Structure 1
Amino acid sequence: MTSASDIFLAGASRGVGREIATYLTAQSLKVKALLRTEASAAELEAMGIQVVLGDALNVDDVERAILTEPIHAVISTLGGLPTDAQRPDYFGNKNLIDAALKAGAKKFILVSSIGTGNSAVAVPPQVLQTLGPVLAEKDKAEQYLIASGLTYTIIRPGGLKSDPATGNGILSEDPRIIGTINRADVAQLVCRCLNSDRANNKVLSAVDRNMLFGQSELPEFSLD
């Protein structure tokens, strides 16, 4: 496993990001997390995570968090809430990508969403209509990362559930794939991608093989 520090995590306060934090610390990896508020700081610090308070939308905050010590990899699950005045999906991730480049990070893993980019074909039109503005911001972040020169992995989960991991989470390069997946399984896939050269510079959809919508066969991407 990666051991160099090493992992900088944005989005650790909730959802997939929190599951990733739990998984990484269980692997005894050194993790630094950027938090916008102190609400979950004590809980993350109790897990052994170094917490830095700051806003991903603020360039100075991001550079202060990332550039102060060596970083091996950056993982971002940044995504705004519907109530946010300004969502971090593009601008927050852009700041992280720029700082990761300055820091010489070896890999950047971006958690995006099925429905973004060429995977729009997998999503019903009414969903695209509802989520269109959000998906457009996520697409801009994906394209910025791809063009950045960083080694990247982009993971697009399907519909997210909060149940315990099933161990059936899989990745696919087929943009037509759609289904649901538990957040804990996404976290495991993200962490496996950290140490998989096969995942380098790939855009992958993530679903649970037992929670597919409609497909009878799934072209699975192997990380080994």
Structure 2
Amino acid sequence: MNTKSYIFVAGASRGVGREVVKCLRNKEMNVKALLRTPDTRPELEAMGVEVVMGDALEIAAVEQAILGPETISAVISTIGGLPKEGERADYLGNKNLIDAAVKAGVGKFILVSSIGSGESVVALPPQALETLASVLVEKEKAEQHLINSGLNYTIIRPGGLKSEPATGNGVLTENYRVAGMIHRADVGQLVCDCLFSELANGKILSAIDRNMAYGEPDFEVLDLS
């Protein structure tokens, strides 16, 4: 009987998802990652990650991955991006992950979305909104599906993402009027912090670097300790 408990990560091949995996492995957590293509499989396996192949847009593959023999204690999704045959993973892929997590009785689901989704639409300048409009609609649908799912959730909306090393200045706020930039590595750290803090449960949080904020200079930071 396999009694090990895993954190399931969708979107681990690159970007924020990869940073989340690094953070979890540094804490010696068991990680299971869903990969659509095998390119990054050797790298992840070298980090001690259990890799399962499958496309988040296919519910059967997602259920097989999440409802497998291992216990999944939490699901973290950072997926989104390029459309496949007209369907964006931002909504459908996340919907499949959320539905499978409900079936599996997963304890917590963290969705990495984006500033500009939902009520945080007011934080973005018109030009950015115009560029991101179609993506943000999908992200908001995914957020709503998670909120209505009955799962214990945290939604994290990062600002503009940069790929430089972590600054350690990433912060979370419930103030949806705040915007700014943040490094992907800092988002990864904040996701880990939320996973291990009950104070993040049921919250929708914007994530920015405190030194790269704009819009509202004075905002309250959520302390997860």
Alignment correspondent of 1:147? 148
Extract unaligned runs of 5+ from structure 1.
none
Larger deviation, residues 33-42 vs 206-215: 206-215
Matched AA of 2:37:
T
Residues 33-72 of structure 1 deviation map (CA, whole Å, 9 limit, x = unaligned): 0000000001000000000000000011001100012100
Alignment of 1:150-161 (within 5 A): 150-161=151-162
Alignment correspondent of 2:25? 25
Alignment correspondent of 2:37? 37
Alignment of 1:10-159 (within 5 A): 10-68=10-68, 69-81=70-82, 85-159=86-160
Alignment correspondent of 1:182? 183
Once residues 4 and 206 of structure 2 are traced to their aligned partners in structure 1, the CA distance between those partners, rounded to angstroms, is 28
- Distance apart, 1:222 and its partner CA: 1.1
- Distance apart, 1:85 and its partner CA: 3.8
Extract unaligned runs of 5+ from structure 2.
none
Which structure 1 residue ranges, 4+ long, deviate > 4 Å from structure 2? none
Once residues 82 and 119 of structure 1 are traced to their aligned partners in structure 2, the CA distance between those partners, rounded to angstroms, is 24
TM-score, scaled relative to structure 2: 0.96
Residues 97-149 of structure 1 deviation map (CA, whole Å, 9 limit, x = unaligned): 01101111100000000000000000011111111110000000000000000
Matched AA of 1:158:
G
Residues 162-183 of structure 1 deviation map (CA, whole Å, 9 limit, x = unaligned): 1111111000000000000000
Question: What is the alpha-carbon root mean square deviation over aligned residues?
Answer: 1.4
| Number of corresponding residues | 222
How much identity, in percent, do the aligned residues show? 64
Once residues 180 and 131 of structure 2 are traced to their aligned partners in structure 1, the CA distance between those partners, rounded to angstroms, is 18
Contact 1:123-1:178 within 8 A present in 2 as well:
yes
Matched AA of 1:216:
P
Q: Counterpart of 2:188 in 1: which secondary structure? A: helix
Alignment correspondent of 2:192? 191
- Distance apart, 1:186 and its partner CA: 0.3
- Distance apart, 1:219 and its partner CA: 1.1
Once residues 79 and 218 of structure 1 are traced to their aligned partners in structure 2, the CA distance between those partners, rounded to angstroms, is 28
**Distance of aligned partners of 1:82 and 1:101 in 2 relative to their CA distance in 1, 3 Å threshold:** closer
TM-score, scaled relative to structure 1: 0.96
Once residues 64 and 32 of structure 1 are traced to their aligned partners in structure 2, the CA distance between those partners, rounded to angstroms, is 12
Q: Counterpart of 2:52 in 1: which secondary structure? A: strand
Once residues 5 and 44 of structure 1 are traced to their aligned partners in structure 2, the CA distance between those partners, rounded to angstroms, is 18
**Distance of aligned partners of 1:38 and 1:55 in 2 relative to their CA distance in 1, 3 Å threshold:** same
Contact 2:178-2:215 within 8 A present in 1 as well:
no
